[in-house]
């Protein structure tokens, strides 16, 4: 009988979520290539199951295999508190760090400090860390994590997204688009609140994304109805890529009201498609957007400035058209990873 598990393999341990996120899409692309090359396999383990069940399964794996663990597990208190139990495996565990809970802006300073203290213990103990951006790398370096154990493997962009489509606007309505999982740090509710306050109603907003937090999405839908802007704000949920491309092509402006991103895959996709962007400065967004040239960047915490910038873009067609023109022109000179490059960068962490 053949052994169930193979030595020298990379086992990518992740939760099977009931929604699609940027992190889960990233994992899918990496695991697909690991399996194609016979270097690794997927290993699903639920977020809500006992940590000791996972440890029991890890004990059955070959002692010389590599373990990549999605750091989303660190958001679960039981898992976060179990570092001691994972130390026997620490020299072959690599964390796939899409998200640091301590960076969410809705926590108090004291809460953030406590969260980072727990996260830092894990980061220091593990063999290596894969992050999606240099911004996240620099943040964890500032917390005392060793340089040599961190590898940046930025997400790839599907070549189909390099289809910038600039057209002269022949109508008064401005088409806005925002893509992201419905969750409070993504800011969909706050964006709808801003639009509900606008005197001008010359806009249509497409909100695209799966749902991570039902209560947050329900609040957003209730506000849309209460404000009477059901015709102006269209909530699509998750859509096929073809539909997303069509909506990007129809749009005048991409908006990210997210207050924390480790990279921001959806914004990168919009930029690759030639759209100007209004966003908070988070993740790698400032790598692609020059404030006032091909988009507008707002400092985190400056919600009133975000509102005023959006109001200006909705009422000043000259400014918006100039941003659109510059965004289109700059797309040809921007460089994003392919998923093949992301995969090669990912593998680099195992050479240290």
pLDDT class for 97, splitting at 50, 70, 90? very high
pLDDT digits (tens, 9 = 90+) for 3-54: 455 657 999 999 988 878 889 999 999 999 999 999 999 999 999 899 999 9
- Phi, then psi, of 255 in degrees rounded to 5: -120, 130
CATH number of 159-331: 3.40.50.2000
Element (H, E) at 280: strand 277-280
- 66 burial type by CB count under 10 A (0-12 exposed, 13-18 middle, 19+ buried): buried
d(CA 196, CA 199): 8
Element (H, E) at 123: helix 109-125
Mean pLDDT, the chain, rounded, equals 92
pLDDT at position 165, please?
Answer: 57
Residue 2 has pLDDT above 90, yes or no: no
pLDDT digits (tens, 9 = 90+) for 205-216: 999 999 888 999
Question: What 3-state class would DSSP assign to 154?
Answer: coil
pLDDT at position 102, please?
Answer: 95
pLDDT digits (tens, 9 = 90+) for 217-259: 999 999 999 999 999 999 998 898 889 888 998 999 999 999 9
pLDDT at position 1, please?
Answer: 34
Q: What is the DSSP string of 196-250?
A: HH-S---EEEEEE--BS-HHHHHHHHHHHHHTT-TTTEEEEES--HHHHHHHHHH
pLDDT at position 5, please?
Answer: 53
C-alpha closest to that of 22 among 129, 121, 106, 133: 133
pLDDT digits (tens, 9 = 90+) for 148-184: 999 999 999 887 766 555 665 555 789 999 999 999 9
d(CA 216, CA 211): 9
**Over residues 287-302, mean pLDDT:** 96
pLDDT digits (tens, 9 = 90+) for 104-150: 999 999 999 999 999 999 999 999 999 999 999 999 999 999 999 99
pLDDT class for 203, splitting at 50, 70, 90? very high
pLDDT at position 123, please?
Answer: 97
Domain with CATH 3.40.50.2000 in the chain: 10-155+338-351, 159-331
Q: Which CATH architecture has domain 10-155+338-351?
A: 3-Layer(aba) Sandwich (3.40)
Q: pLDDT over 70 for what percent of the chain?
A: 94
Kindly report the pTM of this predicted structure.
0.92
Residue 80 has pLDDT above 70, yes or no: yes
Q: CA-CA distances (angstroms) from residue 80 to 256, 263, 320?
A: 30, 23, 46
């Amino acid at each position: 009988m053949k052994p169930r598990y193979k030595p020298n393999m990379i086992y990518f341990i992740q939760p099977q979520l009931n929604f699609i996120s940027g992190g889960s899409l990233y994992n899918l692309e990496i695991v697909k290539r690991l399996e194609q090359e016979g270097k690794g396999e997927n290993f699903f383990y639920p977020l809500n199951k006992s940590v000791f069940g996972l440890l029991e399964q890890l004990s059955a794996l070959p002692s010389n295999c590599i373990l990549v663990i999605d750091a989303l597990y660190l958001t679960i208190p039981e898992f976060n508190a179990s570092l001691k139990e994972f130390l026997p495996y620490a020299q072959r565990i690599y964390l796939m760090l899409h998200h640091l809970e301590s960076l969410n802006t809705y926590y108090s300073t004291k809460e953030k400090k406590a969260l980072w203290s727990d996260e830092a213990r894990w980061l220091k103990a593990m063999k290596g860390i894969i992050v999606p951006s240099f911004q996240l790398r620099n943040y964890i370096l500032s917390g005392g994590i060793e340089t040599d154990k961190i590898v940046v493997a930025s997400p790839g962009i599907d070549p189909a997204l390099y289809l910038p489509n600039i057209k002269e606007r022949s109508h008064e309505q401005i088409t806005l688009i925002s893509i992201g999982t419905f969750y409070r740090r993504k800011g969909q509710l706050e964006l709808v609140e801003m639009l509900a306050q606008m005197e001008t109603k010359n806009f249509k907003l497409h909100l695209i994304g799966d749902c991570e937090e039902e209560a947050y999405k329900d609040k957003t839908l209730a506000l849309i109805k209460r404000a009477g802007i059901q015709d102006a704000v269209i909530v699509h949920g998750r859509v096929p890529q073809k539909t997303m491309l069509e909506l990007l092509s129809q749009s005048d402006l991409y908006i990210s009201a997210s207050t924390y991103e480790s990279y921001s895959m959806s914004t990168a996709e919009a930029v690759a498609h030639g759209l100007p962007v209004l966003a908070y400065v988070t993740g790698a967004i400032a790598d692609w957007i020059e404030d006032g040239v091909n988009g507008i960047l707002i400092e985190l915490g400056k919600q009133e400035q975000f509102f005023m910038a959006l109001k200006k873009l909705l009422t000043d067609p000259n400014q918006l058209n100039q941003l659109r023109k510059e965004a289109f022109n700059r797309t040809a000179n921007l460089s994003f990873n392919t998923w093949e490059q992301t995969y090669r960068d990912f593998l680099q962490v195992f050479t240290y």
